Structure 1
Amino acid sequence: MRSADSPPIGMAWRPTDPGEEDGAFLLVRTAQAAGLVTSTEGMTITFEFIDDGDEGVFRWLLDVIAPTPLKLASVSEAMAVLVEPEVSGVPAAMAVLREAVRRANLLVQQLSDYVAARNMPGHGS
């Protein structure tokens, strides 16, 4: 039995279909809670849908808890690019999770690159 907090993933589920945006959010949140998608302690990745009055856009948010709270966001992209149009069900869910991990790693790397660049001589504080 599925709870209200479980991602609504069936054989025909497509996260890019209208009204399915919460499914991608719940999928990523549930995968992290279950330990299927892990990250550095104190960091979580979140899928955020933004209704633009058209097909919508999404972005990834990386929440860093320590050493100080920080929220990093990817650039927004059209929902159509989240997964290939012909992919549905479990393969679509796996594609979303792979993208969540890829984006979290990219945001961490970008933050690391930024900090390293700021600490280079001549950049001040």
Structure 2
Amino acid sequence: MARFTLHEEEAREWLTELLIAHEMGIGFGEKNPVGDVGSPPIGMAWRPTDPGEEDGVFLLVRAAQTAHVLTAPDEMILDYEFIDDGDECLFRWLLDITLPAPLKLATLAEPLPTLEEPDASGVEAAMAILRAAAQTANLLLQQLSDYIEASKTPGHGS
């Protein structure tokens, strides 16, 4: 089965470049490692659950896939969704599959603090997010595979 893979060493180098550019207030010019996605605001003190960082995790996960430090099976992309329900902030992961037919898988919504690794900031916080993203995407793929397999057994609607 195809899997999402976080290329740890390349991801750490890429994040370090992003952090330096963010801290110095410079862009990447021709060597923009995130393409058209937009640069995630990863600075030394960046924490994904801080107020105002609602889009940071989305940009990080999308940019990591664009930069190929988080690789995905063909025709799949993983996204992060922030949910402000007015009470407590929540998030969930979304896996879009385009072939052989469009399908969107989603995790259950979780409280935002569960996204964060305590005492991590900057590159370490971003690496924790990318590890969680790859792990969650692979879990969703495994659950889909298990569901398809179970539906083939007698008595399960095949």
TM-score, normalised via structure 2 length: 0.76
Q: Cα gap change, 1:2/1:20 in structure 2, threshold over 3 Å: closer, same or farther?
A: farther
Give the C-alpha shift of residue 124 in structure 1: 2.3
Matched AA of 1:27: L
Distance of 1:99 and 1:2 partners within structure 2: 27
1:15 maps to: 48
Name the stretch that deviates more: 112-121 or 4-13. Answer: 4-13
Deviations 1:89-123 (A, max 9, x none): 10000000000000100000000000000011222
Higher share of residues assigned helix: 2
1:104 maps to: 137
Give the C-alpha shift of residue 63 in structure 1: 0.2
Match of 1:52 among 85, 89, 99: 85
Matched AA of 1:91: E
Distance of 1:87 and 1:77 partners within structure 2: 19
Give the C-alpha shift of residue 85 in structure 1: 3.1
Q: Cα gap change, 1:55/1:88 in structure 2, threshold over 3 Å: closer, same or farther?
A: farther
Q: Kindly name which structure, 1 or 2, has the bigger radius of gyration based on alpha carbons.
A: 2
Distance of 1:2 and 1:102 partners within structure 2: 30
Deviations 1:53-93 (A, max 9, x none): 13410000000010000000001101101012311110000
1:32 maps to: 65
Q: Is 2:110 aligned against 1:74?
A: no
Matched-pair contact (CA < 8 Å) for 1:18–1:55: no
% same residue: 62
Which ranges of 4 or more aligned residues in structure 1 deviate by more than 6 Å?
none
Across the aligned residues of Structure 1 and Structure 2, the Cα RMSD in angstroms comes to: 1.4
Task: Specify every segment of 5 or more residues in structure 2 that has no aligned partner in the other structure, as ranges.
Answer: 1-25, 29-36
Task: Specify every segment of 5 or more residues in structure 1 that has no aligned partner in the other structure, as ranges.
Answer: none
Matched AA of 1:36: V
Distance of 2:39 and 2:77 partners within structure 1: 18
